[in-house]
Structure 1
Amino acid sequence: MLAQAAVYKCVGNDGAVSYSAVPCPATEGQTTRIVEPMPTSGPPAAVPPLETQASPAATASEPDRPPGTRITVIEDSSASNREARANEMRERAQREKEESYIRDFERIKRQEQELRLQREYEARQRQQTPAPSPNSSSSTTGEPSSTGTGQ
């Protein structure tokens, strides 16, 4: 008795085609289920031996087989794709952390530079502007005015 297995053809968003025993993830592209007709009841059909890739000369000498009698085994590429995507996500997260750290470091450095410049400016202003003395007030000197009317 022949066993029938579901085979799914996955066409990724980038156009890559793969075949799998499980449907493709919805975000990965389009899935097509490949269904071969069930064998008719009656004597079991002869199963051709699994072929290995032969040289072109050997292939030319073999008689033509009807389509659909060949079995091609394809590895499930989704595991390696998942691993590659996970690595890419880890690397992207690491890059984003580093970029965020650099942005924060540069922002803090700019703030410190601005604060230092502000303090230097204020120190120069204090040095250039003389401080007012308490006795330099011109309106009140503490002495009687000399208007010439006094004796």
Structure 2
Amino acid sequence: MTAAHGDAGEGGVGAFVDASARLTGFGAEELSALGMAETYRAVVVTQAGSERCARLVDALSGSGSAVTLDGELLDLAREVTHLWYTGSWPGRPGESGSFVVSAASYAAGLVWRTLDGHAPGTRPAGFGSWAGVPAGAEGVR
């Protein structure tokens, strides 16, 4: 746990961010900077229950590199990872419980950082950007 996440011991947002950092491959500071940690933790607690959320955070809080999760926690780990990358809750397989958390969560999705871009429709491209040749397409005709 990092010093910046002092509430980690109480199973709060800091512990959730630290666990999420292990799942996503992004640093805890990067995840905190997105401004979605409290919202995402609330979604996980609402959708999966506080007990399951706490079990996942506890399982991921060890200092060892190898973590073994049972089937239930593995599914929750996938759901939490999906949440951080897409800004949406995936729901259970076979259920129609998937939803986008908010417009801000969509824009903050880690998938856009991974692609070194921005979510479509969330940032203007800049005046006259349409007039230039797209990056990487200079030699294509």
TM-score interval for Structure 1 and Structure 2 normalised by the shorter chain:
under 0.3
Higher helix share: 2
TM-score norm. by structure 1 comes to: 0.21
**TM superposition score normalised by structure 2:** 0.22
